[in-house]
Amino acid sequence: MKNITVSGIILAALFLSFCLPQPGFASEALRKTPFDHEGPYYPVTSREDIDYDLTRVRGRDASAKGEILHLSGVVVNTAGKPQENSIIEIWQTDPQGRYDHPGDPSPGKRDPDFQYWGAVRTGPDGTFYFKTLIPGGYQPRPAHIHFKVLRDGKAILTSQIYFKKAADSSPPDLQTAVLQQKTAGEYETFFRIVI
């Protein structure tokens, strides 16, 4: 309970720090989230339009195997205004670094209980949430989650999220999300997308 409360406070503080005007910087435009490559493994399987939970597959009883990641975030414009009605699509590897894509040459078995994609729509406050797994890396790339932002059916940003642990003091980066450990085997993070 204590962990949930403390981590909830941290996430709320992060959210407010992203959304509220900053003293002395109110007139400065936010830097846009950079484009990053779509890569060759954009999902080709049929899928529902909206599904926030990658740890469950419809019609199956078991949950995906791996460390849980609660991926929260917000979409804002360069003036910091929340962008509602944006579709966020994500796709990623499982913890073994394997995609659900016929072109992925990685060895190993795909986890049938992991849904390798997700999609959500932002609400009036621009926020979104996915329940997923910490992705595994694959050579030569670090672990990452691919995403697209769509408005009115058109992709307006394609990019990737990278991760670092909270104890890592390397400088912040527009594409790096900080992992806060919630419980054993469970992490959460907050990622801002600026369009």
Residues tagged active-site: 99, 138, 141, 144, 146
Window 39-78: contact mask with Fe ion (x via CB under 5 A): x---------------------------------------
CA distance 162 to 135: 10
Rounded least distance, CB 38 to Fe ion, Å: 9
Determine how many CB atoms are found less than 10 A away from the CB of residue 145: 24
Please tell me whether residue 136 binds Fe ion under the rule CB under 5 A: no
Q: Do residues 74 and 18 lie in contact, with contact meaning Cβ atoms separated by under 8 Å? A: yes
Write out the E strands in the chain. Answer: 68-76, 87-92, 117-121, 127-133, 144-151, 154-165, 176-183, 186-194
- Least CB distance from residue 172 to Fe ion, whole Å? 22
Query: To the nearest whole angstrom, how small is the minimum distance from the Cβ of residue 39 to Fe ion?
Result: 4
d(CA 30, CA 78): 5
Binding mask 1-40 for Fe ion (x = CB under 5 A): --------------------------------------x-
DSSP 108: S
- Amino acid letter at 158? T
Which of 40, 171 has the CB closer to Fe ion? 40
Smallest distance from Fe ion to CB 91, Å: 8
Q: Closer to Fe ion by CB, 24 or 103: give it.
A: 103
Contact positions vs Fe ion (CB under 5 A): 39
